[in-house]
Structure 1
Amino acid sequence: MDRTIAHDPLVLLARKAAATGAEILARRDESKFNTDEKSAAGDWVTDFDRAAEEAIRATIVTTRPNDELTGEEYPSAKPANPSGLRWSIDPLDGTTNFVRNIAYYCSSVAVCEKDEDGSERWVAAAIAAPALHVEYFAGRGLGAWKQDLLTGKLTQLSGPADTEARILATGFGYDPARREFQASVLQQVIGDYVNVRRLGSAALDLCLVAEGALDAYAEFGTQEYDWAAGALIAEEAGTLVGRPVGYPGWQYAGLVDASKLPMPD
C-alpha cells in the first residue's frame, strides 16, 4: 500500500471510525433489534444503528473535537470553533439486510472540507462490512483500497474492466411512488447492460463498482450519508461518479449514459 495513504490522518481516522461502528454491528443479536419504522413500512432503524453512530461520533470527536458531524440517526453537531471539516456518517447502511441476516450491510464514514469558494470536496472515506469481513477506504488523490480482514490482503482498486457483459446495480425506495419512478427509469437504461443486481446497500454498491465486481450503479433519492464514502472510493478507483445536487437527485457511478436518468414529473 502507498505509504502516503497509509499515514494520512483523515484516512486513518475514517478507517478507525468505520471499524468502530462495524464492531457494534458484529454483535448482531436478533433479540435486541428493537426495530422502529422511520418513513415507511420496512424502513427500519434499530438499536444497532443508534449505538454504531454513537460509537463512530465518539471516535471522531476524541481526535478532532472541532469538526462538524452529520449522520443518519442524530442531529448535526456543530462545534463553537469549527475546523472547516465535516463528517458524514451512516452507521448501518443496509438495515433491512442486517435485520434479515443478509450479509450486505456496513458502517460508512466520510469527511469533506470547504474550499475557498464555500464548496465542499470529499477528502477521505472508509466503509467496513463486518459480515463480509472487508474494508474499503480512499483518500483524495491517494487512490482507493480494499482490505480482506480475514487474510489481511490489500488490493488497490481500479474500477470495472472493459466488458460487453456489463452488470448494473440499483436500489428502490420504500415509498411506492418513488419505486414506480425508479422502475420506469430502469427500463430505459437496462438495454446497456446484460443484467441487474439490487443488493440493498448503496455504499457497498459503489464499492463493488470501484473493485470491478459491478460495472455501474444508479439510484434515485439517496441521502448524502448513503453515498458520501462510497462515491469517493469509486472516484478514487478511476470511475466516473455523479453525486446528487440537492434532493432527491441521482447518485451513479460507471454509468454508460447518465443522460438516461430523468427527474420525476
Structure 2
Amino acid sequence: MDKAITHDPLVLVARRAAAAGAEVLAGRDESQFNISDKSAVGDWVTDFDRASEEAIRATITTSRPSDELTGEEYPSAKPLNPSGVRWSIDPLDGTINFVRNIAYYCSSVGACQLEEDGTETWVAAAIVAPALQVEYFAGKGLGAWKQDLRTGKLTKLTGPVDSPAKILGTGFGYDAQRRQFQARVLEEMLADYVNVRRIGSAALDLCLVAQGSLDAYAEYGTQEYDWAAGALIAEEAGCAVGRPATYPGWQYAGLVDPAKLTEPTS
C-alpha cells in the first residue's frame, strides 16, 4: 500500500472516526434500540445511531478541533475560526438492516476541503461495516482500499470490469411517490443490466461498485451524508461518479448511462 495514504492526516482521522462509530454498532443489543421514526414511517433512528455519531464527533474533534462537523443525527458544529475542512457523518447507514439483523450497515465518514472559489473538494473517506468485518478508505489522489478486519489483508480497489452481465445496485425512498418515480426510472435502466441488487446502505453500495461486486449504483434522493465517503471511495477506485449537485437529485457510480437519470415530473 502507498505510504502516502497511510500517513495522510485526514485519512487517518477518517479511519479512526469511522472505527469509533463502528465500535458502538458492534455492541448491537435489541433491548437498547429505542426506535423512533424521523421523516416517515420506517425512516428509523435508534439510540445506536446517536451514540455512534457522538463517538465519531468526539474522535474528530479530539484531533481536529477547528474542523466543521455535519451529520445525520445532530446539528452542524462550526468553530469560531474554522480550518476550512468539513466532515460529513453518517453514523449508521443502513439502520433498517441494523435493526433487522441484516449485516449490511456501517459507519461512514467523509471530509471535504473548502477551496478559494467557495467550492468544496472531497479529500478523505472511511467506512467501517462491523458485521461484515470490513473497512473501506480513500484519499483524494491516493487511491481506494479495502481491509479485511479479520485478517488485516489490504486490497487496492479498481472498480468493475465491463461485462455483458452487469448488475445494478439501487435504493428506494420512504415516500410512496418517490418510490414510484424510482421504479419508473429503474424500469428504463433495466435494459442495460441483467439483474438488480438492493443492499440497503448507499455507502456500502458505492463500496461494492468500487470493489467490482456491483457494476453500477444509482439512487435518487440520497442525502450528502449517505454518499460523502462512498462516492470518493468509488471515484478513487477509478469509477465514474455523479453527485446530486451535478445530476439532479441522483447519486451514481460505475457503469451507468447518466442520460437515463431523469427528474420527477409534477
The answer (yes or no) to whether the contact 1:222–1:248 under 8 Å persists in 2 is: no
Q: Per the alignment, in what secondary structure is the counterpart of residue 107 of structure 2? A: strand
Residue correspondence of structure 1 range 191-206 to structure 2 within 5 A: 191-206=191-206
What's the RMSD between the two structures over aligned residues? 1.0
Match of 1:168, SS state, is strand
1:1-265 residue pairs with structure 2 within 5 A?
1-245=1-245, 249-265=249-265
Q: Deviations over 1:206-237 (max 9, x none)?
A: 00000000000000000000000000000000
C-alpha distance in structure 2 between counterparts of 1:190 and 1:246, whole Å = 23
- Structure 1 residue 162: deviation in Å? 1.8
CA distance in 2 between counterparts of 1:152 and 1:110 reads 22
> Is 137-146 or 238-247 further displaced after alignment?
238-247
How big is the shift at 1:256?
A: 2.9
Question: What is the DSSP-based 3-state SS (H/G/I as helix, E as strand, rest coil) of the residue aligned with 1:218?
Answer: strand
Matched-pair identity in %? 77
Matches of 1:227 and 1:255 in 2, distance apart?
Answer: 17
1:103 aligned counterpart, secondary structure: coil
TM-score by length of 2: 0.98
Amino acid at match of 1:109: V
Q: Quick check: 2:22–2:107 contact (8 Å CA) kept in 1?
A: yes
Moved over 4 A (4+): none
Looking at structure 2, the residues matched to 242 and 15 of structure 1 have their Cα atoms a distance apart, in angstroms, of: 24
**Inter-partner Cα distance in structure 1 for 2:205 and 2:9:** 26
Distance change in 2, residues 1:247/1:175 (3 Å): farther
Of residues 254-263 and 233-242 in structure 1, the stretch that sits farther from structure 2 once superposed is 254-263
Q: Which runs of 5+ in 2 are unaligned?
A: none
Structure 1 portions without partners, runs of 5+: none
Aligned residue type for 2:100: R
> For the residues of structure 1 that align with 2:252 and 2:172, how far apart are their CA atoms?
14
3-state SS of paired residue (2:92): strand
* Residue pair 1:218, 1:255 contacting (<8 A) in 2 also: no
